[in-house]
Amino acid sequence: MNKVVVGFDFSSGSAYAVDLAIDIANRWQSDIRLVYVKEKNENEASIRSEIERRNAGVAHLLQGIRLEYVLRQGNPAEQLARQAEEDDASLLIVGTHGMSGMKKNLLGHNTYKTVELSPVPVLLVREDFNINKDLETIVVPIDSSDDTRQKAGQAATFAKTFGATIHLLGLYTSSSKEVHATVDKYINMVQRHFDKTGVQYQTKFLEVGKNVTLDTLDYAYAVHADLIAIMTEQESSLSNLLMGTFAQQMLTQSKIPVLTVRPRRVLADTVNY
């Protein structure tokens, strides 16, 4: 696995992100790159001193991997995305009460922008989530959009890493027979992929009410999920599934860590995990 990149700004949320990154990176045997995006007038020497002090405090947790850091300056979302690209990272982790420029808001513009710009999957974790709990249950919602299946590959990686069970959630966002048939087809394709790769899963179909985000979260809470995997874009035909609404609602409202996957453009009938 390539590096795990973590956004850090001394907030408790970003400290949680570092803790989670260490757990994941140890399992993947990946080095960690901690990224601090500094403001123009901040004292670089004091920043480096404090980061090095904190890194020394968690050094005993590293199992054959390295924890490095870099200071960057500029727009936080852009800088994190660039670092992830430069490192050819496997994952970018952000604490939702962290990142420079986000200190006044639990979830701000920089979080959404990071998700949109990142060339790699982004894992967002709230500071009030119990990261000491084993990752046992992952919810993967599947709708009728062409890209929806692409999150399955990343979810499978986490499931195999932690020995977790995936809950495939087929979302019927319309009463249309065509929509139902498409969701059924995509669920079947993902199931076949999981069968081949030895991923444990179970499947549930859900008739969506007024808000697909709330329905998905209600299910995730009911099964005590530890992670929800979503695409940064969903069905463009439904207003509450656009990046501006569905993903933002999920990132804002979910008390569960959210893994966001940026879609690659593929043919509708091509399985690409």
Rounded Cα distance between 76 and 129, Å, is: 23
Per-residue pLDDT at 14: 87
CATH superfamily of 4-125: HUPs (3.40.50.620)
Rounded Cα distance between 153 and 98, Å, is: 27
Per-residue pLDDT at 237: 44
Secondary structure (DSSP) of 33-61: EEEEEE-TTS-HHHHHHHHHHHHHHHGGG
Residue 176 near residue 263 (C-beta atoms within 8 A): no
Per-residue pLDDT at 273: 54
- The ranges of the chain annotated as CATH 3.40.50.620 are 4-125, 137-261
Rounded Cα distance between 21 and 35, Å, is: 12
Work out whether the CA dihedral 6, 137, 268, 174 comes out positive or negative.
negative
Per-residue pLDDT at 1: 66
pTM beyond 0.85, yes or no = yes
Residue 111 near residue 124 (C-beta atoms within 8 A): yes
Per-residue pLDDT at 73: 94
CATH superfamily of 137-261: HUPs (3.40.50.620)
Residue 256 near residue 165 (C-beta atoms within 8 A): no
Low-confidence ranges of the chain (pLDDT < 70): 1, 97-109, 233-245, 265-273
Strand order, beta sheet including 227-231: 67-73, 32-38, 4-8, 91-95, 122-125, 258-261, 227-231, 137-142, 165-172, 201-207
Rounded Cα distance between 52 and 266, Å, is: 43
* 128 contact partners, CB below 8 Å, separation of at least 6: 255
Rounded Cα distance between 236 and 246, Å, is: 11
Closest CA to 141 of 62, 223, 81, 59: 223
Rounded Cα distance between 231 and 226, Å, is: 17
